[in-house]
Every structure is written in C-alpha cells, then in structure tokens.
Amino acid sequence: MSFARLSVKAIANAINAGASAVEVAQATLDGVAEYDLIQPQVWTLRLPVEAVLAQARAVEARVVAGEDLPLAGVPFAVKDNIDVGGLPTTAACPAFAYTPDRSATVVERLVAAGAVLIGKTNLDQFATGLVGARSPYGAPRCVFNQAFVSGGSSSGSAVAVAAGLVAFSLGTDTAGSGRVPAAFNHLVGLKPSKGRWSTRGLVPACRSLDCISVFAADLSGAALVDDVLAAFDPEDDYSRRAPAIPPALSMNGLRFAVPLPDQRIFFGDGESEALYTAAIKRLETAGGTRVEVDIAPLLDAAKLLYSGPWVAERTAAVEPLLRATPSAIEPTVRAIVQGGLATTGVETFRGLYALEGYRRAAEAIWNVADILFLPTTPTIYRLKDLKAEPLALNANLGLYTNFVNLLDLSALAVPAGFRGSGTGFGVTLVGPAFADRALLDLAAYLETFPMADTPPLDLTPHKPGVKLAVVGAHLGGMPLHWQLTSREARLVTATKTAPAYKLYAIANSTPPKPALVHVGDGGSSILVEVYELDVEAFGGFTAEVPAPLAIGTVTLEDGTSVKGFVAEPRALDGATDITHLGGWRAYIASLRV
C-alpha cells in the first residue's frame, strides 16, 4: 500500500457527486490494518469494522436523499481526550477512563457534516507534553524517520493523517500540541482562537487555555473542517462569539514580524535555522515585508505555563486521581502535575498580573507588524535522546509555541521543508484572536513555492514482542506497574479473560496480589490489561515473578491466547474468592469502603 495522503476536499466532492463512501471507508480500514504492522501505537481504540461501514452507508443514504454534506464520507480520527459517545475516553491513562453518553460538540458537528469516524488516537498522557512519548500505549514516531519523536501531545492524531490513514484528525492545543506534531510530520496544523471551536467534551489540560485543533494534509482540508466547527456553543462556558468583522490580512503590504537575530534560537540545529531563513525569503518573495521585533515578552509569558501557576490548572484536571492513585499517572506527567499542589492563591494572582503585563508588551508588536512568522519548533529530537532528558528537551520544543494561548492569539502551522534526517520542519503564522481565516488565506501564498520533495515514509515494520496479560498488582496505577513501565511495555488493550477463570486474593501477600485460576465451566470473565514487551524485556520480567505465581498462558474473551499470570495450587491456601467482583481494581476499591 502507498499510504498516500488523503484530501478532505477531494473525498467530500467525490462522494457528494456519487462516489461510494463505503469503498472509501473500506480502503481506510485496509490502510489502518496495514499500518498497524508499522506503528500500532497510533491508536488507543478503533471502531469495529461494521460500525465504520455503517457510518459510510448512512452517509451514502443522506447524499442520495439530496443532502450536500461538506465532509461527506471523509474518514477522520479523534484524540483520546475528546469524548465520543459510547466509547471510553482514556486521556492515555486507563485508570482514568470513563465512557461518556454523548460526544463532544466538535464530534457531533463533524458527524452531522458527513465525516466517518475511524477511531481514537494516542497522546501524551493528559495532553501534557510536546513529544508524544508519555503514554502507556507506546510512543508514536515521526512518519519519515521512526528514530525521531512524532511530536505531541497530539501524537497519534498527527501520525494518522501523515501516514494517509485518515484525511483529517482532531488534536488539542494548550502549549503547542496541535502545531509541533504538524511540523515534524509535514502537516497543516490549525490552532483556532480560544473559544472559536467548542471544547465541551474535552478532558481539560488547562481549561482556560485549551483549544481543539485539526491536522490536515493541506490548507483546504483544514479550512473545510473550520467551516464546520467555528461556531458559538452555549453549552461551553469558554465558547466565544466571533467579532462581526474579524481581523483582515492581505499580502498587499503585509508586515511580518520575525525575532531579533539573537532571539532566533535553534539549539545548534543549523538545518532548522537554514530552513527558517528560506521560509522568510519565500514570504518576502510573495510580497511581505520583514520586520524584526523583540519577542522577549512572549518568551517570558511562555515561562508561566510550566513555571507559574498554570501548572495548578493542569493539576486541577487530574487531582482526584493524583491524590488517590498517583502511580496510575505516567512518571514525567506526574512530576509536572504534582507541582501544582503547592501553588497558592497569592502565586496565582501574581501570575495573572504578570501575564497582563506581558500581554500589554506583546501588543506593541501589532503596531509594527500584522503577523508573527516563527519557527514552529527550534529542532527535533531522537526518542532515545529524549528519554535521557525528558523535561528539558520537551521545554525546548515549546520555545515558540507556549505563549500563544496564554496571550490569546491565533496560530497556523504549515510545512516548510525537511532536514537531512527526513524529519519535517515547519513555520507558524501567528495573529491576533479570530484572525484564523485570514491566516489560512495568507498561508496559501507559501504553498505556491516549491520545496524539497517529500521523503518516503519510514515503513520499518514494528518488531512484535510478547503479549502479557496482567490481572492485579501490575495493572496501571497498581504498586508493581513500574516493572512494566521500566521495560517500556506498551498497553495493547484492556479486556477480559474467557469465562473460564476464578480470581482469588492471596493471603498475606505484600503488596496484595491475586491468583488467577483456570477452572473451565463455571468460571467467569476477569478484567485484565494486555501489554506488549520485547522478548528480552519479557524474559527479565518473568525472572522477577515470585512463587506461588508464575507466567503461563491466559485465554482472552475473543478466544486468543497470550502469556499471563497463573498460580500454583499453594497460592489458594487461605485465599479469598473474589471472582464475583470481576477484577482486581474492584477488590482493592472494596477494601477502602
């Protein structure tokens, strides 16, 4: 399969003209299945095949009935911190998961416009990160070079579009999560002005700053999605009504601001610096006038996001889980959100006062320029390097993105070339609030300039590991889960065993552990989590399993078999039968009552 990128506009036009939405959906499903052999960590959940095809058939019926659907039959994906009714929302934290009855407003609008949902995508847990590597579901990689990070937090959403699996996807953007992955994977990333798209049904990162965003292969695709989603939502407390006359911009006399020379920071990445210089020259050739400005107020404002009281806003979103089961949260994310617990009201107000000062200083930029024209990121990192310095390198990636929502600005990330490694470089057009459509129009001028050919996708197959079902102390959030995370285990699914097991609480076990026993007829289905480890890591894990437990084979409810915990007969001496509770989490919860 070619994994060619999909056009939102072309698909919608074809299906409205009579093409088969079912054929498009089936081709999409085939591509998703094939790319699973390369990056299975793109998804947290996919809809069953029949559910996807049923959506497509419904779209065809609507078109035949005379509806002109703006997104007819267009396959899309949703970041897994955005609600889809009837499907679990995990925010990449299984212990946090809940199943909403209703979809987020943006999902409702997209489906009403004819779009076909394929599934939910991976992310940096709780949308905390710009790297895409902070998830129990694994780390999506740059589609052009899998040694490098995909960018985050909207990692799976970006990869799904960049690999041609879907035509567009929803991400979110608090500090750059809808722009950084766009740059690395050569996509358009539209971060709308705060409140311009509804955030009802979004798990908040920083609720006062959050935006839902879109990834698309081209500007026309992003614009079509914006047409559907830009509307006031009375059900969203943070929704805003657009001004009657939004900011207008034109290439005729356009003044675009770039940082002072000593503020153009690339952390030694000369290729990124050269690509940015080339992008500046392209905008000048299109008719724009370069203006150098002092961006120090922007950079100072950006520091408030992770060094100021806005960390406490992230903490507020996950506080119940953080206090009850801190080990359920990915270690780097936990280190960040725990910092918010100590933030005082006084510190919060001081931060608010400081932000207003930076906002006033930043307003001076609009006296001399119409837009800011910035690198989306200064550089990119290999996954192995990021693991050595997860906080510092993540912060580097947000240098030119973190301030945008704090200062209530609009932003559009667009491709601007490739490094020698094949990884994408991007630039971002930043404007005042509600300048979104004007930015889309301006960016079209950049599309007319030729750039280096897009490199082929890195289709190195995923090396299958050993699937392991865990049932007790190794579940996410439980005391021994670290034995999996330390070995980079990837969560494959949360499911149940076949109805052939009993579950017991072993007597006098520290920490408390269960015994899963196969009994055949008369047994029950028990909740488990299935992880994948590479063969070497699995061997090391198995060596640490203490008697009376052992690793054997467990049959899942779908009939497949994986490795899993089993118990010697002596494990049942004095044990308590807890099968009726259905799983270990319910048993632990019962002890707290």
DSSP per residue, 307-340: HSTHHHHHHHHHHHHHHH-GGGS-HHHHHHHHGG
Active-site amino acid positions? 79, 153, 177
Distance CA 213, CA 221 (A): 13
Token output for 179: 């722009």
CATH 3.10.490.10 for domain 466-592? yes
Exposure string over 312-348, b if 16+ CB within 10 A, otherwise e: bbbbbbbeebbeebeebbbebbbebbeebeebeeeee
Q: What is the pLDDT of residue 1?
A: 63
Each residue's pLDDT, cut to its tens digit, for the chain (593 residues) gives 678 999 999 999 999 999 999 999 999 999 999 999 999 999 999 999 999 999 999 999 999 999 999 999 999 999 999 999 999 999 999 989 999 999 999 999 999 999 999 999 999 999 999 999 999 999 999 999 999 999 999 999 999 999 999 999 999 999 999 999 999 999 999 999 999 999 999 999 999 999 999 999 999 999 999 999 999 999 999 999 999 999 999 999 999 999 999 999 999 999 999 999 999 999 999 999 999 999 999 999 999 988 889 999 999 999 999 998 898 899 999 999 999 999 999 999 999 999 999 999 889 999 999 999 999 999 999 999 998 899 999 999 999 999 999 999 999 999 999 999 999 999 999 999 999 999 999 999 888 777 778 999 999 999 999 999 999 999 988 999 999 988 989 999 999 999 999 999 999 999 999 999 999 999 999 999 999 999 999 999 999 999 999 999 999 999 999 999 999 999 999 999 999 999 999 999 898 76
Same fold, 1-450 and 466-592: no
Domain boundaries along the sequence of the chain: 1-450, 466-592
Q: What is the pLDDT of residue 325?
A: 86
- What residue spans of 19-135 are helical by DSSP H? 21-35, 49-64, 105-112
Token output for 554: 């467990």
Residue 552's identity, in one-letter code, is G
Chain CA centroid to CA 537, Å = 27
Of 377, 312, 389, 588, give the one whose Cα is nearest residue 474: 588
Q: What is the pLDDT of residue 451?
A: 77
Of 273, 247, 254, 262, give the one whose Cα is nearest residue 295: 262
Of 366, 365, 193, give the one whose Cα is nearest residue 295: 365
Does residue 267 come out as left (phi exceeding 0), alpha (psi in the -120 to 50 range) or beta? left
Token output for 30: 């085939």
In contact, 82 and 172? CB cutoff 8 Å: yes
Residue 315's identity, in one-letter code, is T
548 burial (CB, 10 Å; 0-12 / 13-18 / 19+) is: middle
What is the second-level CATH architecture of the domain 1-450? Alpha-Beta Complex (3.90)
Distance CA 83, CA 104 (A): 5
* 239 φ, ψ (degrees, to nearest 5): -70, 145
